Chain A
């Protein structure tokens, strides 16, 4: 009969109450994990759909380009500059890109598109565009053709081998016009990108926009996306700030990030409400248990049990109840989270249409993140510890003689 076993037996004195409390903790942890996995997973997806399919984690532009995306704010990416960027720790490959808007037409249909001229092989390292070609083939090094996003191809009624006609404004107001054979149709996760992306080689694009030797951005392939901010900081130190701006993905996707933050805040509030309910439940159980056992506390202290030891035992009991709930909650949530992590829910019907309208791919992958488990276990444990202050306070103030008389 050690204290651990005494505590364990004590929590089962009122089986129903302990089970109810553990079950409420289970429910909270279970719901919280599922809700958060879904929420954080979809944020990850929204961000990676743009970052990993298009922008990359860091870009270097001419100063002011991001706010006013004009070819007049393009720059010459000479070997010296590319070398300089390449040498920064964590940067594995700068990809020169020239991009601008154009009007695409095919027969009587027209559509605004985003034309990205790039080195197909290098770009593929960042965006894995080759793997997303649904029909047709990847661009070769000096290709004069184009890759067209799936949605745009659909809207324009174009397929592989057809001619894509582009009209736009080139560098320094030159007019830009050209016809490009469609080499392949590419899928993008982001509905927005899927609707308006046109890929071509840097050479073809420079010719189209009359911008020889120029780029609008260097999109960087980095070793570890997590280090993007540190890498960007290093880049800012070596690049002339009056000439260049270095932007990380979250600066480029400012609106998306803000939307995610507000959605996230709403999720956290819901979570907070859930936890408050559960914490009141825990407190109810603990306080009832305390009040019922005041006399018993008096007895063991009378017999010679140190109050600190008694408090420790009671603390152990409360921790046990919540650990049981946490453990069962985690065990219950894991298969669900894991399943939807590896088999993302693909929405259909109205919900899907609505998400697409908001520019979100109607897929809900769950995030499987051990640190989230730790966070929720931590929240419940911390709350339990706070609730356990009540019995500790009662024990601390306990007057043996009056507890025995009660």
Chain B
């Protein structure tokens, strides 16, 4: 069953003097349990596509349906709530809340969802174990390496039990060993827990861990291969 369907998606940035056509008619569907890389040169539209998939930005044209919800019909407030319950995010620059410990960063999402304290704490610890840093629960982001911070970010993205996780260049700030490590953790979560991952990258080694690779160029889908 497809969880995301997009039809004829376009995005024009027209606040600038010369309008930029970032996405030019994209049709795609994503299935539950996918492990998909979106690749393409810088400026090809990867971030724009992921932002729209995640409800962080609105398209200029076309339709996007996530798990039966037409995203175009949601108010900004409903969209925020929709993200909280349905979508996990991993960012290129980790973006953990600096004043919260690893465990608190993960619990933050569940707190927004109104989950009880005991349940939050148990789930956060379980996730920290799954990403391989059960001993860093009490560390603040500043005390963690980039690779460790990104693992916390993956754990945070999973905290709400989202339908899928979007990761925009999650390894761009990591050394190759940490990058490979992170992808292995994501791959394992995908296999063992059936977590759906859609991530963008321009790192060849990372992209080959994916089972489906979508190549963008100038805001169009150039290739869509399943490995």
Which residues from chain A sit less than 8 Å from chain B, CB to CB? 1-2, 6, 9-10, 12-13, 295-296, 299-307, 309, 399-401, 404-405
Contacts and interface: CB of A to CB of B under 8 A. Distances in A.
A173 B109 CA distance: 95
Contacts of B97: 6, 296, 299-300
Contact of A302 (B76, B89, B99, B108): B89
A304 B80 CA distance: 5
Contacts of A307: 76-77, 80
B83 to A, nearest CB: 5
Interface centre among A13, A296, A299, A399 (most CB of B within 10 A): A299
A303 B111 contact: no
A399 B89 CA distance: 17
B113 to A, nearest CB: 8
Nearest to B104: A1
Interface in B89-117: 89, 91, 95, 97-100, 104, 107-109, 111-113
Contact of B56 (A9, A12, A302): A302
B223 interface: no
Q: Lowest 10 CB-CB distances: which A-B pairs, in order?
A: A304-B84, A9-B99, A401-B57, A1-B104, A299-B95, A400-B56, A304-B83, A401-B51, A401-B56, A302-B56
23 contacts: A1-B100, A1-B104, A2-B111, A6-B97, A10-B99, A12-B99, A295-B95, A299-B95, A301-B80, A302-B89, A303-B83, A303-B84, A303-B89, A304-B80, A304-B113, A305-B80, A305-B84, A306-B80, A399-B57, A401-B51, A401-B56, A404-B95, A405-B47
A1 B100 CA distance: 8
A13 to B, nearest CB: 6
A299 B91 contact: yes
Nearest to A8: B99
Interface centre among B81, B95, B160 (most CB of A within 10 A): B95
A304 B166 CA distance: 14
B56 A404 contact: yes
A304 B160 contact: yes
Nearest to B50: A401
A6 B100 contact: yes
Interface of B: 47, 51, 54, 56-57, 76-77, 80-81, 83-85, 89, 91, 95, 97-100, 104, 107-109, 111-113, 156, 160
Contacts of B89: 302-303
Nearest to B86: A304
Interface centre among A6, A10, A404 (most CB of B within 10 A): A404
Contacts of A299: 91, 95, 97
Contacts of A309: 112
B160 A1 contact: no
Contacts of A304: 80-81, 83-85, 109, 112-113, 160
Given A307-B77, A404-B91, A404-B95, 10 more contacts: A1-B104, A1-B107, A1-B108, A13-B98, A303-B84, A303-B112, A303-B156, A307-B76, A309-B112, A400-B56
B81 A306 contact: yes
A28 to B, nearest CB: 28
A302 B167 CA distance: 13
Contacts of B112: 303-306, 309
A305 B85 CA distance: 11
Contacts of A404: 51, 56, 91, 95
B93 to A, nearest CB: 9
A107 to B, nearest CB: 84
Contacts of B113: 304
A17 B47 CA distance: 35
B109 A303 contact: yes
Contacts of A12: 99
Nearest to A401: B57
B198 to A, nearest CB: 15
Contacts of A401: 51, 56-57
Contacts of A6: 97, 99-100
Nearest to A13: B99
Contacts of B77: 306-307
A84 to B, nearest CB: 70
Contacts of A13: 98-99
Nearest to A304: B84
A400 B109 contact: no
Interface centre among B80, B112, B160 (most CB of A within 10 A): B80
A77 B81 CA distance: 82
Contacts of B156: 303
Contacts of A305: 80, 84, 112
Interface centre among B47, B83, B99 (most CB of A within 10 A): B99
Nearest to A399: B57
Nearest to B166: A302
Nearest to A295: B95
Contact of B57 (A1, A2, A9, A400): A400
B53 to A, nearest CB: 12
A3 to B, nearest CB: 8
A81 to B, nearest CB: 74
A6 to B, nearest CB: 7
Nearest to B88: A303
A405 B57 CA distance: 12
Contacts of B51: 401, 404
B109 A302 contact: no
A12 B51 CA distance: 32
Contacts of A2: 111
A128 B98 CA distance: 67
